[in-house]
Amino acid sequence: MREMFRVSIGGAHAGFVITVFLVVLFAAIGGTAWALIVGGAVAFWFAAALIAVAGGGRRGWAAVKRAYLLTFGWAGWL
């Protein structure tokens, strides 16, 4: 089960690129307000993940890396 939910940094980078593409697409189609809403939601999720990871005992770059994986690692499953 643990192996099934494992994420990689490559998958997280892909998720980041897809997310940036979608925010730019929202900006082009829906205007700046929609891009800010979607980008803000992603930023909020990253901040919440960072707070949760820091509360779990990780500090510094290890916490940032884990929050990055939690936020964007979903693309590794695509």
Burial 21-60 (b: 16+ CB within 10 A, else e): eebeebbeeeeeeebeebbeebeeebeebbeebbeeebee
pLDDT tens digit sequence for 16-27: 999 999 999 999
What stretches in the chain show pLDDT beneath 50?
Answer: none
Q: What is the pLDDT of residue 4?
A: 59
- Three-point CA angle 39, 45, 50, nearest 5°: 125
Q: What is the pLDDT of residue 1?
A: 55
Q: What one-character DSSP code corresponds to residue 78?
A: -
